[in-house]
Amino acid sequence: MNRRNFLKNSLMTVGTITTLAGLMIKPKRLYAAWPKASFDITGLSDSINSVYGHNNLNESSEVILKAPDIAENGAIVPLNVKTKLKNVESIMIFVENNPQPLSSGYNLSSKSVPIVGTRIKMGKTSKVIAAVKSNGKIYTASKEVKVTIGGCGG
Amino acid sequence: MSTIKLRAKESKGVVTVKAIIKHPMETGQRKNKKTGEKIPAHFIQQVICKANNDEVITINWGPAVSKNPYLTFAYMGSKGDAIELTWEDNQGNKDSLQGEVK
């Protein structure tokens, strides 16, 4: 290989590498992916399975779920979940009789204090389950909430 | 005007953040009563909160969260922390708001 060709080739290689690198370093999406599959699943046990990969739940008094006994308006059901468990990774809220049981998930960081509150919609009377993942295990608390007017239909 | 209302207060090393986001949170299951057509799903999928540029919580929401969602959570922080709340919905809309812990 003569010198000219060598230079030409190496320039081309450098060019290709830069283009490739440019393609690979796409602007990182602001968020981690939203778990679409878990939110689409109907049926409680499948839903839990899709979130954790198993159905190993431990009912625990360390998890405190605050929810009304009777929700007059199913469109706004206030929920509060807290726990004294340590190293909490996530808190998930499932509603058994909703079209898709998984209503919301909270991924905590090392700085988080495990308290979350929100308002959800409930189609009809159902068991609400709060699941807390701590040290790789799932602890739950559940409560039956009566709904007089559903919040999912039109 | 921002779609987010944000309040954060510190007490004994724990910052409690409360927020309300203005959003229709359509499930995709409701029908327009006049035309009988389905109203397309339109809901917030993710909310992220950062304190001093560190992510403190990532929240995934499904359509079952109420309209104009309300949210509380807490983290270990202090007065004067710069917090930033960002949301993104299933149609690609997003908004964010910055605030200071009081």
Task: Indicate whether A89 belongs to any domain.
Answer: yes
Q: Which domain holds residue B72?
A: 4-100
Q: Answer yes or no: is pLDDT of A30 > 60.
A: no
Structurally, chain A folds into a number of domains equal to 1
- The residues near B9 (Cβ < 8 Å, ≥ 6 apart) are B15, B16, B101, B102
The residue type at B80: G
- Residue numbers of chain B with a pLDDT score lower than 70: 1
Shortest alpha-carbon distance between residue A64 and chain B (Å): 15
Q: What is the pLDDT of residues A98-119, one digit of tens each?
A: 989 999 999 999 999 999 999 9
Q: Which two tokens stand for residue A9?
A: 């080739």
Residue A138 included in any domain: yes
Is residue A18 in a domain?
no
Instruction: Residue A56: give the domain boundaries.
Output: 36-149
Cα–Cα separations (whole angstroms), residue A64 to A4, A60, A97, A116, B20: 75, 9, 21, 11, 23
How many other CB atoms sit within 10 Å of the CB of residue A138?
A: 20
∠ Cα A17 A33 A123 (to 5°): 165
d(CA A77, CA A146): 10
| Amino acid A27: pLDDT | 42
Residue B42: name the closest of B85, B86, B6, B88 by CA.
Answer: B88
In sequence order, the 6+-apart residues with CB closer than 8 A to the CB of B33 are A154
Domain count, chain B: 1
Establish if A22 belongs to a structural domain: no
Distance (Å, whole) CA B21 – CA B67: 9
Q: CB-based contacts of A10: which residues, under 8 Å, 6+ apart? A: none
Task: Tell whether A143 is covered by a domain.
Answer: yes
CA distances B77 to A82, A112, A149, Å, are 18, 9, 40
What is the spatial distance between Cα B11 and Cα B19, in angstroms, rounded to a whole number?
17
- Which amino acid is located at A78 in the chain? P
Q: Are A132 and A87 in contact (CB under 8 A)?
A: no
Q: Round to whole Å and give the CA distance between A53 and A88.
A: 18
Domain of residue B94, CATH code:
2.60.40.10
Task: Give me the pLDDT at residue A29, please.
Answer: 44
Residue A25 clears pLDDT 60, i.e. is over it: no
φ and ψ at residue A9, rounded to 5 degrees: -60, -45
Is B99 in contact with B86 (CB distance < 8 Å)? no
Whichever domain contains A127, its CATH number is 2.60.40.2470
Q: Do B59 and A95 touch (CB under 8 A)?
A: no
In a domain, A2, yes or no: no
- Copy the structure tokens of residue A59: 């009912």
Partner residue opposite B66 with nearest CB, options A34, A100, A121: A121
* Residue A24, in any domain of the structure: no
Q: What percentage of chain A has pLDDT greater than the value 70?
A: 76
Is position A16 within any domain?
no
> Least CA distance to A112: which residue of chain B?
B75
The pLDDT, as a whole number, for residue B70 is 95
ipTM: 0.89
Residues of A with CB under 8 A from a CB of B: 30-32, 34-35, 39, 75-78, 80, 95, 98-100, 102-109, 111-113, 115-122, 151-154
